[in-house]
Structures are given as C-alpha cells and as structure tokens.
C-alpha cells in the first residue's frame, strides 16, 4: 500500500541513469549496523531507495559505496542486481562520489543523470517521474528538487530571483538573516544533463574548510556559466526527509507507517487505533480484517478476510486464515487456519501450524507443532516437536518433553484423543486415535488406540499427620478444631 511498491513506472528509460549515494559513514546513528541497513517498515533503509530506482526503470543504476562496503554490496545485489557498484576513493564529498559514478557510465550513454541519496527512503517513484518530466520540459542543464519543511534550520536555502526563477543555493551557515528567512530548502536530489555535469565535475576542487568535493558546487558553476538551473518543489516535505540519527529514523518510520495504515484502511481494513498499529510494507491484508490497538503485522504476514487481530499482538511472517482470531499473542512463522483462535497470551514459535477451528489458548507455547482441525490446546501448556490429529483436546498444564539433553524428539498424538490435566509426554511417544490419559499421567510408552493410560499411584491419606508433625502451627490448630 505504498507507492514505492510498484514494479515499474513505464518502459525502460534509455535516456536516464540513476546514481544512488550510499558511501556515507552514518556516525550519528552510533551503531555497529550500517545506517542504511537499519530497518524501516520491515526493509533496510536503502532497500526503499533501491525499490524506487527499480520502479523508474532507468537504463543504468550505479550505487556508490565506501564504508561497510561488503555488507551493503551484498544487500544491493539482492535488491537491485542490475545496479553497478562503484567504490568511492579517499577523496571525500558527494561531488567526488558522483564524479566516480559518472566515469563508470558507458561511453555511448548521453542522457540525464538523477542523483538520489540512500538515506531518503520515502521519496517515491511517482514523485521522481514528475521531477524528471519537469526537467525535460525545459531542457535545463540541471534541476534541483526543493521542499518547504516546517523547520528549515540547518538546510541550504533555495534563493530565487525576483521573477521566481532559480538563482542559487546558499548553505545555512553562509546565509544572511534575510536568506535564512527563506522557507524553501534544497532537498538534495538533482537531475543533470550528462554533458553539463561531466564538464563541471572536472572543475570541482577540495579547496574548502572540509576538504571535500561538493556536488552543490556544480550548481553554482553551471549558473556562473550561464546555464539554466531550475528548482522544482516537492508536494510533501516528508518525501525528502533524510535519516541521519535514530530520532529521524523513528520520525520517518512513524510517517511511513501512517501512510501504510491509511492505505489499508482505504482498502477495507478496520484499524481501530492507527497510532499504535504497525504494518510492514510486505504484509498483505484482505478486506474486512480488523486490527485492534497495539497490533504489529510484520514481515510477509498475510491475513485473510474476517480475521480479528489484537489487541497487543505481534505477527511476523505468519499466515492467518479467514475468520481467525489472534488476541494478545506473539507468533513467528506460524500458520493459523480458518476460524481458529489463538490467545490470549500465547507464544507461537516457528513451525506452528494450527488447523481450521483449532485453538491455542491462554499461556500456551508451541514450536514445530502441527495441531489438526478442531483440536485444542486451551491452557498452560508447552507443545514442541509434536503432531496432533483432528478434534483432540490437550488438558491444562501439559508438557511435551521433547528434549533429552542431546536431541529434540517427536510426539504424535492421534485424532479424537483426550488427555488429562498435568500430563507429561516424554518423547519420542505415540498416542493412538481415540485414546484417553488420566490427570497427572507421565506417559513414557506408546498408548494404543482407544486405551486409557494412567500411572498415578493410589492416593494415601495419613490422618493426623499435621497435628503430629507440625504442632503449634495455624494448620494444626485448624485441623484440631475441625469437625471433619
């Protein structure tokens, strides 16, 4: 339900090359994980940008890398294998990154070069397609994407002439008071004609305080040469929001999630509290699904029509059937059948498969468990490495003892089985169809079909034991005064 998820904007644009800048160190994240690999709506930050590049269907895509090169290169190869990888050398700056990327373009390419940043994940393909169209309408040497955010502090300003045409970019630190009052900023997205770009890149120097080659200097050089440069405002400043620290990551995640949730609402999903409901981009929801407060639909989870999820539920890479209910539970890589119920307070680990109209109830943990149609594990149980047939009932407090200290062993429970409360099934074990087990039974041997298995010793009551062995206690006093 997000514009970046579209596969293609149009047929291959033979006149377009895209450069993705992904060489930055991202120190403000203060993380051992590269900034561009931090998750956003279930995908790494840079994956959103690469999806946009793919949707534009450019003739060439070049991703510029440096810091954490191998980790990012592996990710780019998965998301956009057609992208050429270019390693930025020791010369710092966005100008140098673009210079090296341009040098890697085929000699026969003579089109437009779009420069985007790997840390601007909300910028979608539709917005960029309009940006490219605006650039080509005027055949400008360069076009700058601009924005009108609420807070312009720290951003370079777009300064326009009296007739409204683009004049220059002034960095915040260099701006006068009048220039700082301008509310239009440079969004850091550029489109150049290749010839003009190549000419001005050759003129860049590192003769500045930071010792870097700045891409923004190319804009100034083009204007000095009398070339036309345009600034085109983006419709929503959030589309060009960059991520440099964890606060910005959180803000961006909230904005993107609001867009995703809104999209599903318009598609027929009831979301009671959008502020506490999180849905990843790859999740799929059918119409008439209801999401209650505190719900997270993560990864590639699919939820079929009529299902009710929540409150306070997390589903990761799960498959939820029609009319199923999952309440106050956590599930990962689980399949929940049509009409089945889960929770509250259930923990479904990978490999859980619950059949139609089945039940996994309160304080139940499952792992590698196949629970057949109509079967129930209602209370306080652990079911691991087990197969349960159809229409069986597992008594409260049951433990499937699957681990012998070395191996995980399987248990097989047949159909129409009734097990008593507080059972322990010591795997490997097999319980036949229609069998019963008594309360408190520890089952160490296979139980034939239709048999009753009990191994609890006869109850023995030692009359007077408390008064004899615990004299003077409240219990002894109560016992002595009892008429029983």
Which residue numbers are catalytic? 379
- Confirm whether residue 367 is marked as ligand binding: yes
- Helices marked H in 322-470: 465-469
Separation in Å, CA 10 to CA 80, 167, 205: 17, 33, 38
119 is in an annotated binding site: yes
Whether 30 has a binding-site annotation, put simply, is: no
**Strands 359-371 and 347-348: what pairing?**
parallel
| Residue 94 annotated in ligand binding | yes
117 forms beta bridges with 21
Q: Is 23 annotated in some ligand binding site?
A: yes
Contact 329/347 with Cβ under 8 angstroms? yes
Question: Would you say 174 is a known binding-site residue?
Answer: no
Q: What angle do CA 229, 231, 236 make, to 5 degrees?
A: 160
Q: Answer yes or no: is 117 a known binding residue.
A: yes
Is 347 within any annotated ligand binding site? no
**Cβ(353)–Cβ(334) under 8 Å?**
yes
- Is residue 246 part of an annotated ligand binding site? no
Residue 226 marked as a ligand binder = no
Tell whether residue 469 is among the known ligand binding residues: no
Task: Check the annotation: does 349 bind a ligand.
Answer: yes
Token representation of residue 81: 């294998």
**Strand locations in 330-457, DSSP E?**
330-332, 335-336, 341-342, 347-348, 353-354, 359-371, 376-388, 399-401, 411-413, 418-419, 424-426, 429-431, 436-437, 442-443, 452-453
Here the tokens at position 387 are 């197969």
Tell me if 289 sits within 8 A of 307, measured CB to CB: yes
> 118 labelled as ligand-binding?
yes
Residue 134 is labelled as binding a ligand: no
Distances in Å between the Cα of 164 and the Cα atoms of 65, 198, 218 are 37, 27, 21
Please indicate if the annotation marks 393 as binding a ligand.
yes
421 belongs to an annotated ligand binding site:
yes
Query: Using alpha carbons only, what angle is made at residue 47 by residues 3 and 55, rounded to the nearest 5 degrees?
Result: 45
In the DSSP assignment, the letter for residue 196 is H
According to the annotation, is 24 in a ligand binding site? yes
3-state DSSP call for residue 205? coil
Q: Is residue 164 helix, strand or coil?
A: coil
Is 22 annotated to bind a ligand? Reply is yes
Q: Which residue ranges are tagged as binding site for acetyl-CoA?
A: 396, 402-403, 421, 439
Q: Which residue ranges are tagged as binding site for Mg(2+)?
A: 119, 244
Q: Which residue ranges are tagged as binding site?
A: 21-24, 35, 88, 93-94, 117-119, 156, 171, 186, 244, 349, 367, 382, 393, 396, 402-403, 421, 439
Q: Which residue ranges are tagged as binding site for UDP-N-acetyl-alpha-D-glucosamine?
A: 21-24, 35, 88, 93-94, 117-119, 156, 171, 186, 244, 349, 367, 382, 393
């Amino acid at each position: 339900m997000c514009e970046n998820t579209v596969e293609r904007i149009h047929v291959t644009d033979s006149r377009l090359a895209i450069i993705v800048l992904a060489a930055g160190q991202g120190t403000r994240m203060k993380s051992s994980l590269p900034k561009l690999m931090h998750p956003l709506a279930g995908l790494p930050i840079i994956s959103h940008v690469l999806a946009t590049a793919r949707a534009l269907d450019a003739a060439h895509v070049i991703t510029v890398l440096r810091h954490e090169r191998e980790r990012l290169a592996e990710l780019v190869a998965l998301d956009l294998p057609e992208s050429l990888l270019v390693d930025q050398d020791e010369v710092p700056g966005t100008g140098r990154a673009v210079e090296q990327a341009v040098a890697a373009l085929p000699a026969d390419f003579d089109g437009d070069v779009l420069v985007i940043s790997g840390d601007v994940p909300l910028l979608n393909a539709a917005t960029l397609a309009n940006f490219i169209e605006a650039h080509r309408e005027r055949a400008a040497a360069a076009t700058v994407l601009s924005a009108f955010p609420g807070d312009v502090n720290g951003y370079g300003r777009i300064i326009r002439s009296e007739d409204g045409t683009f004049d220059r970019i002034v960095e915040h630190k260099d701006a006068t008071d009048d220039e700082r009052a301008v509310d239009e900023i440079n969004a850091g997205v550029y489109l150049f004609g290749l010839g003009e770009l190549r000419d001005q890149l050759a003129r860049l120097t590192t003769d500045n305080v930071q010792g870097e080659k700045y891409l923004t200097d190319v804009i100034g050089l083009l204007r000095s040469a009398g070339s036309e440069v345009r600034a085109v405002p983006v419709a929503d400043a959030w589309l060009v929001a960059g991520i440099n620290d964890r606060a910005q990551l959180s803000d961006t995640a909230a904005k993107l999630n609001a867009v995703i949730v809104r999209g599903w609402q318009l598609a027929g999903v009831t979301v009671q509290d959008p502020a506490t409901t999180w849905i990843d981009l790859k999740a799929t929801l059918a119409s008439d699904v209801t999401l209650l407060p505190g719900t997270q639909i993560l990864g590639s989870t699919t939820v079929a029509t009529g299902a009710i999820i929540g409150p306070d539920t997390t589903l990761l890479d799960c498959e939820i059937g029609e009319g199923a209910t999952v309440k106050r539970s956590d599930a990962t890589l689980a399949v929940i059948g049509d009409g089945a119920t889960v929770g509250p307070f259930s923990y479904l680990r990978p490999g859980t498969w619950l059949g139609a109209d089945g039940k996994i109830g309160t304080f139940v943990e499952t792992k590698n468990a196949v629970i057949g149609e109509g079967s129930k594990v209602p209370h306080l149980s652990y079911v691991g490495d087990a197969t349960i047939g159809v229409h069986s009932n597992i008594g409260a407090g049951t433990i499937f003892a699957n681990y012998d200290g070395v191996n995980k062993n399987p248990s097989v429970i047949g159909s129409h089985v009734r097990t008593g409360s507080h059972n322990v099934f010591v795997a490997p074990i097999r319980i036949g169809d229609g069998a019963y087990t008594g309360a408190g039974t520890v089952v160490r041997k296979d139980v034939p079909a239709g048999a009753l298995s009990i191994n609890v010793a006869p109850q023995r009551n030692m009359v007077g034991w408390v008064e004899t062995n615990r004299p003077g206690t409240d219990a002894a006093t109560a016992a002595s005064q009892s008429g029983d």
